[in-house]
């Protein structure tokens, strides 16, 4: 990785075009230069090709530079959510991380390895704009996606590079190997230990039909993607919200999901739920006018076993009918909504006393009229 080392990076472009990039070195950091460009590398030509990549619950420490698109979204100098760099000025995250679209107070850290101590490769920016998907549903977590515009562009290095995004026609079959990264809890209620190294975990895609059966019928929409280990022990958790789930296609890493919600962390037969990135290519393109992110079509091979899955085919689970979504951000934004996904005659439990009082009054009136 030193200043004397020469890299040859094969860059896969959309439309099947392949170019070769050579490094320009400065000290110990290598900056990737697109030899076909006179203004520096475009995001689409360098996305998803980390030169240092050699993989949160059930995970392990990620080597520095393995996931150079990983972002830490911070408020008051504390980590709140994860995110992913998709070009020089835009970061993608989850809508549920934000109480509003006000960017004041938010900072984004890139090139960071640990949440504690000095990170020599780190670059920080304030947030100029937050765009929350207009159809985001806080109760069902449908359309749980947001875009954040940095206050100024970042330079690409070995430790700061954009990830490619799954194109709209991508297909992820049941069992597709994936990786999730973040600084979230290493188990339910167990924070990541000092010095809080970036964690990585390998999980498999769980088809939407099976995931819907396991998480509760009607809970999984076409805009969601599930992944985990059905035996338990591997998952994202609190604090990983908004971070990336990625899949490798040839030599290119493609972001398939955004950490969104689930029941607990790494519980058996309860896979985590992610925002399906491929559903949002048009929306993302509508907001990013220049230096477009690199969209890559991912197609799983073979027949998807989930296509004929019915709930009676596998195990069922009992879940809390009023769950907090996980991973919920920490520290919690205020006010933080408590999302009850089911309708209730008691106004989601908030007006239980007044409802009982009203029913009692009606019974007394009926008795007096007899």
Q: Tens digit of pLDDT for each residue in 196-222?
A: 999 999 999 999 999 999 999 999 999
pLDDT at 266: 78
- Worst-scoring range by mean pLDDT, 12-21, 169-178, 304-313? 12-21
CB atoms within 10 A of CB 145: 26
Compute the average pLDDT of residues 114-122.
93
Is 85 or 8 the better-scoring residue by pLDDT? 85
* Range 359-367 contact pairs with CB under 8 angstroms and sequence separation of 24 or more: none
Name which of 201, 280, 276 is nearest 240 in CA terms.
201
Cβ atoms of 163 and 254 within 8 Å: the answer is: yes
Four-point Cα dihedral 230, 232, 238, 240, nearest 10 = -60
User: Which class for 280: exposed (0-12), middle (13-18), buried (19 or more C-beta within 10 A)?
Assistant: buried
> Would you state the structure tokens that stand for residue 367, as one six-digit string?
């008795």
The residue annotated as part of the active site, out of 170, 241, 256, 278, is 241
| Full-model pTM | 0.74
CB atoms within 10 A of CB 102: 10
**Using the 8-state DSSP alphabet, how is residue 197 labeled?**
B
pLDDT at 359: 47
pLDDT at 262: 86
pLDDT exceeds 80 at position 51: yes
Q: In the β-sheet with 9-12, what is the strand arrangement from edge to edge?
A: 9-12, 18-26, 29-33
- Worst-scoring range by mean pLDDT, 143-152, 181-190, 323-332? 323-332
How far is it, in rounded angstroms, from Cα 169 to Cα 205?
17
pLDDT exceeds 50 at position 41: yes
**pLDDT range class, residue 23, cuts 50, 70, 90:** very low
Cβ atoms of 228 and 266 within 8 Å: the answer is: yes
Backbone angles phi, psi at 79, to 5 degrees: -70, 130
pLDDT exceeds 90 at position 294: yes
Cβ atoms of 273 and 218 within 8 Å: the answer is: no
The residue annotated as part of the active site, out of 144, 197, 240, 291, is 144
pLDDT exceeds 60 at position 333: no
How far is it, in rounded angstroms, from Cα 289 to Cα 87?
11
Q: Scanning the structure block, which residue is given the tokens 């029913």?
A: 359
Residues 6 or more apart from 81 whose CB is under 8 A from it?
73, 93, 94, 97, 239, 241, 242, 243, 329
pLDDT at 315: 55
Residues 6 or more apart from 205 whose CB is under 8 A from it?
172, 173, 174, 175, 176, 178, 225, 226, 227, 256
Q: Is 165 helix (H, G, I), strand (E, B) or coil?
A: strand
Compute the average pLDDT of residues 70-75.
96
Q: Scanning the structure block, which residue is given the tokens 């590398």?
A: 41
Backbone angles phi, psi at 312, to 5 degrees: -75, -5
pLDDT at 109: 97
Four-point Cα dihedral 59, 64, 69, 74, nearest 10 = 80
Output the CA–CA distances (angstroms, integers) from residue 297 to 107, 169, 248, 277, in the order listed. 31, 6, 12, 11
Longest dimension (CA), the chain: 97
Q: Write down the mean pLDDT value for the chain.
A: 78
Is 317 or 170 the better-scoring residue by pLDDT? 170
Residue-wise pLDDT for 230-267, tens only, equals 887 877 887 789 999 999 998 899 999 999 998 888 78
The residue annotated as part of the active site, out of 96, 229, 256, 291, is 96
Q: Is 241 a catalytic residue?
A: yes
Per-residue buried b or exposed e for 150-173, using 16+ beta carbons within 10 Å of the residue's own CB: beeebebbbbbbbbbbbbeebebb
Q: Is 96 a catalytic residue?
A: yes
């Amino acid at each position: 990785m030193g200043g004397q080392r020469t890299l040859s990076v094969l860059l896969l472009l959309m439309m099947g075009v392949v170019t070769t990039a050579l490094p320009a070195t400065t000290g110990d950091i290598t900056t990737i230069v697109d030899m076909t460009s006179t203004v520096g590398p475009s995001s689409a030509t360098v996305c998803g090709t980390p030169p240092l990549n050699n993989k949160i619950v059930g995970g392990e420490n990620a080597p520095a530079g393995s996931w150079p698109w990983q972002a830490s979204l911070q408020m008051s100098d504390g980590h709140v959510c994860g995110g992913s760099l998709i070009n020089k000025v835009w970061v993608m995250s989850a809508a549920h991380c934000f109480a509003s679209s006000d960017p004041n107070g938010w900072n984004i850290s890139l090139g960071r390895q640990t949440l504690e101590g000095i990170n020599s490769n780190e670059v920080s920016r304030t947030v100029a704009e937050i765009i929350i998907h207009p159809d985001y549903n806080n109760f069902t977590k449908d359309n749980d996606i947001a875009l954040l515009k940095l206050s100024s562009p970042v330079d690409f290095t070995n430790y700061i590079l954009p990830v490619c995004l799954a194109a709209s026609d991508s297909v992820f079959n049941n069992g597709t190997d994936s990786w999730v990264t973040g600084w979230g809890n290493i188990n339910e209620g167990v924070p990541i230990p000092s010095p809080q190294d970036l964690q990585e975990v390998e999980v498999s895609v769980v088809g939407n039909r099976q995931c819907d059966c396991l998480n509760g019928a009607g809970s999984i929409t076409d805009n969601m993607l599930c992944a985990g280990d059905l035996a338990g022990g591997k998952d994202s958790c609190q604090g990983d919200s908004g971070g990336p789930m990625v899949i490798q296609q040839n030599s290119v890493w493609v972001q398939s999901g955004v950490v969104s919600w689930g029941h607990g962390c790494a519980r058996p037969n309860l896979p985590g739920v992610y925002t399906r990135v491929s559903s949002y290519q048009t929306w993302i393109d509508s907001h990013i006018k220049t230096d477009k992110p690199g969209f890559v079509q991912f197609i799983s091979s073979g027949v998807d076993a989930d296509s004929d899955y019915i709930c009676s085919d596998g195990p069922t689970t009992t879940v809390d009918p009023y769950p907090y979504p996980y991973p919920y951000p920490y520290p919690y934004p205020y006010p933080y909504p408590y999302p009850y996904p089911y309708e209730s005659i008691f106004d989601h439990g908030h007006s239980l006393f007044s409802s009982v009082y009203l029913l009692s009054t009606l019974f007394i009136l009926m008795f007096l009229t007899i």
